Amino acid sequence: MQELTHYLNGEHVNGTSGRFADVYNPAIGEIISRTPLASKAEMDQAVQYAAAAQPAWAAKNPQRRARVMMKMVDLMHRDMDKLAEALSREHGKTLPDAKGDVIRGLEVVEYCIGAPQLLKGEFTDGAGPGIDMYSMKQALGVCAGVTPFNFPAMIPMWMFAPAIACGNAFILKPSERNPSVPIMLAELMEEAGLPKGILQIVNGDKEAVDAIIDHPEIQSIGFVGSTPIAQYIYAGGCANGKRVQAFGGAKNHAIIMPDADMDNVVNALIGAGYGAAGERCMAISVAVPVGEDTADRLIKALTPRVESLKIGPYTSGDDVDFGPVITGAAKEKINALVQSGVDQGATLAVDGRGFSLQGYEDGFFVGASLFDNVTTDMDIYKQEIFGPVLSTVRAKTYEEAIGYAMDHEYGNGTAIFTRDGDTARDFASRINVGMVGVNVPIPVPLAYHTFGGWKKSAFGDLNQHGPDAFKFYTRTKTVTSRWPSGTKEGANFSIPTME
């Protein structure tokens, strides 16, 4: 069995803690490798390397740092198939979806090529008599990120690309369930010209996360995962004086108005609800049709489409809609939540629990499920299922429908399907959710805008990528400069003004 490594100071380094996590191929349900789980001492070693390398990297001008990003884009295009295959093997998502994972991260790397422009400060000539004022955006130092299993390429790049472009060193603690691609990305960054020690991969579990939270040299933490862990990292990091952006769970509603194009709605919900086996924080997991007729038409149209979804291993190529979930435990949890929906009175229009694929009986496959007549007190409505399950909550009016999304504790993403501009505009303006789609089922902003939810979906003041990332990974220093012209002045005991 292959034993994976950490990636420290440009080298593959074996773990020394004696603890390991099994890495599965979810399609066959077999262990294919194991990854080391770092100790506090191993994390400290990574921080020492990062702290030693960072000052020289920050001293390089932004244009030279941007050139590394330019080269990285070329290398990722060169190795796209290799990255996607490794990602699919450990995660289970289809190859086209894996390539999408890589590309959405690559787009943030492309955005970071603009670092020279994004890092420019401000200047005021003649702010007062003989006085100029200007600001500088300076790197924080050593930054860290903790990323989830569902996007092992995209989310690490959302963090380390802007952090590094700003002149920081970055320590990444990826998910122990699929650690190979992050190490491949670190290797590519060094091939692109990044100095050793600036990007390091430390595999681990809670012990490594706690070491990040507590280490005095680490200045900021980025996190994406569940809400309880987001709250834990946010509270601990802030208590230790660190900057923290922590993104948690989601329960994304799609409002379907009576005037919506039902064919487009069904296509959107099929992709957004069941793509990647529902293991996306931006998945649509709740459909809210307005009016009984709209609901009846939706369920009638959705049912045969859900029943006909093709499920299989990534090796089946483009003939598969989605693959397995990440672990056997995840499969059991999803099936248990589906049963809870039945027990609590929802109508199970399509039951995916009995799905089995010949030749892959030990894989972590879960069939697609569709619920109707779901109510807000049910577990399948309140909890993030993170599986191929779509719940339908019927609403009598638009106001009732929008209330469901606004009252839910999560506020990551939402969408509305309508042909009416007034309704769409009202929805976008009023909804208390961070990312909104109008006839767009997965409203993930492009790299030059920012990604982030509201309510219990996000903790921290700044979002991921876009302009917010360059604010998060820098400190602003403001300089007031005066060069005496030879005029002698006495002491002034009043607060300075620019009169």
Rounded to the nearest 5 percent, the helix, strand and coil shares of the chain are 40, 25, 35
315 shares a domain with 193: no
DSSP 460: S
Q: How many helices (H) and strands (E) does the chain have?
A: 16, 23
DSSP 18: S
195 shares a domain with 234: yes
Q: How far is CA 25 from CA 33, 100, 178, 363, 374, in A?
A: 9, 20, 9, 8, 34
154 shares a domain with 85: yes
Reply yes or no on whether the pLDDT at 214 is more than 80.
Answer: yes
What is the rounded CA–CA span in Å between residue 155 and residue 149? 9
Instruction: Give backbone dihedrals phi and psi of 67, rounded to 5 degrees, phi first.
Output: -65, -30
Residue 158 belongs to a domain: yes
Mean of pLDDT values over 264-270: 97
Residue 489 belongs to a domain: no
Residue 409 belongs to a domain: yes
Indicate the range of 315-324, 417-426, 465-474 predicted with least confidence: 315-324
Q: What pLDDT was estimated at residue 487?
A: 65
Reply yes or no on whether the pLDDT at 300 is more than 70.
Answer: yes
| 129-173: pLDDT as tens digits | 889 999 999 999 999 999 999 999 999 999 999 999 999 999 999
216 shares a domain with 176: yes
Alpha helices in 240-355 (DSSP H): 262-274, 292-307, 328-343
| 243-261: pLDDT as tens digits | 999 999 999 999 999 999 9
Query: Going along 141-247, which residue ranges are E strands?
Result: 142-146, 169-173, 199-201, 218-224, 243-247
Residue 9 belongs to a domain: yes
| 65-123: pLDDT as tens digits | 999 999 999 999 999 999 999 999 999 999 999 999 999 999 999 999 999 999 999 99
Residue 12 belongs to a domain: yes
Place of tokens 């933490």: 221
Place of tokens 């191993």: 42
What is the token pair recorded at 260? 């919506």
168 shares a domain with 52: yes
Indicate the range of 1-5, 84-88, 217-221, 360-364 predicted with least confidence: 1-5
Q: What pLDDT was estimated at residue 247?
A: 97
Q: What pLDDT was estimated at residue 362?
A: 96
What is the token pair recorded at 403? 């209330």
What is the rounded CA–CA span in Å between residue 253 and residue 264? 16
CATH of the domain at 467: 3.40.605.10
Number of structural domains (the chain) is: 2
CATH of the domain at 337: 3.40.309.10
Mean of pLDDT values over 400-409: 98
The pTM is what?
A: 0.95
408 shares a domain with 384: yes
What is the token pair recorded at 384? 């993030």
| 304-358: pLDDT as tens digits | 999 999 999 999 988 899 999 999 999 999 999 999 999 999 999 999 999 999 9
332 shares a domain with 396: yes
CB 300 within 8 A of CB 336: no
Please give the mean pLDDT across all residues of the chain. Answer: 96
Q: How far is CA 201 from CA 198, 293, 314, in A?
A: 10, 53, 26
295 shares a domain with 353: yes
What is the rounded CA–CA span in Å between residue 167 and residue 55? 8
User: Exposed, middle or buried, 51 (CB in 10 Å: 0-12/13-18/19+)?
Assistant: middle
| pLDDT tier, 1 (very low <50, low <70, confident <90, very high otherwise) | confident
344 shares a domain with 325: yes
Q: What pLDDT was estimated at residue 317?
A: 80
The residues, ordered by sequence, that sit 6+ positions from 302 with a Cβ below 8 Å of its Cβ are 266, 269, 270, 287, 349, 370, 390
- Greatest Cα pair distance, the chain, in angstroms, is 91
332 shares a domain with 243: no
Residue 443 belongs to a domain: no
Residue 355 belongs to a domain: yes
| 167-208: pLDDT as tens digits | 999 999 999 999 999 999 999 999 999 999 999 999 999 999
Select which of 112, 143, 166, 281 is catalytic: 281
| 230-245: pLDDT as tens digits | 999 999 999 999 999 9
| pLDDT tier, 493 (very low <50, low <70, confident <90, very high otherwise) | confident
Alpha helices in 60-140 (DSSP H): 62-78, 80-91, 95-112, 115-118
Q: What pLDDT was estimated at residue 485?
A: 76
Domain with 406, as residue range(s), is: 252-438
Alpha helices in 37-79 (DSSP H): 40-59, 62-78
| pLDDT tier, 499 (very low <50, low <70, confident <90, very high otherwise) | low
225 shares a domain with 364: no
Q: Is 281 a catalytic site residue?
A: yes
Residue 175 belongs to a domain: yes
Provide the percentage of residues in the chain whose pLDDT is more than 70. Answer: 99
Q: What pLDDT was estimated at residue 125?
A: 94
CB 257 within 8 A of CB 399: no
Q: What pLDDT was estimated at residue 319?
A: 87
273 shares a domain with 415: yes
